[in-house]
Amino acid sequence: MKLVSDNYGIGAIWMELRDPKKLKRLMIVQDVSQRELAKIAGWKSHSYLGRLMAGKVKTLSTDPALRIAHALGVGVEDLFLTKVSDIPGHDDRKPKTQTQEQPRHRGRTAA
């Protein structure tokens, strides 16, 4: 995930989904599929959006969050909290757990 940062003493900036249920409701009301919204967000796959909607992950970059809110016709603050690290170049988010990011096996495993 790309985090926004600059040289002005501001740390990393990211967004946190406030309520996955609200996102789901808006998608139903707007008749937008998970695949469509993921494409609008700029993602190649809909899997991360599915993980957001299931509550398995909570954070995303600012650009996709803005695109999602705009596509659903709501303010970004209605769906997301803006998070900023106090330390320049530092990411305060919790480390990913194995349930959030599964390791990928390369090649065959021994039988």
Domains of the chain: 13-84 (1.10.260.40)
Complete DSSP assignment for the chain: ---B--SSS---EEEEES-HHHHHHHHHHHT--HHHHHHHHT-S-SHHHHHHHHTS--EE-HHHHHHHHHHHTS-HHHHEEEEE-SSTT---SPPPPTTTSPPPP-SPPP-
Contact present, 48 and 110 (Cβ < 8 Å): no
pLDDT given at position 7:
52
pLDDT given at position 41:
97
pLDDT (tens, 9 = 90+) of the chain, 111 residues, equals 455 545 555 678 999 999 999 999 999 999 999 999 999 999 999 999 999 999 999 999 999 999 999 999 999 999 999 998 876 555 555 544 434 444 444 454 554
Strand bridging mode 80-84 / 59-60: unpaired
pLDDT given at position 86:
75
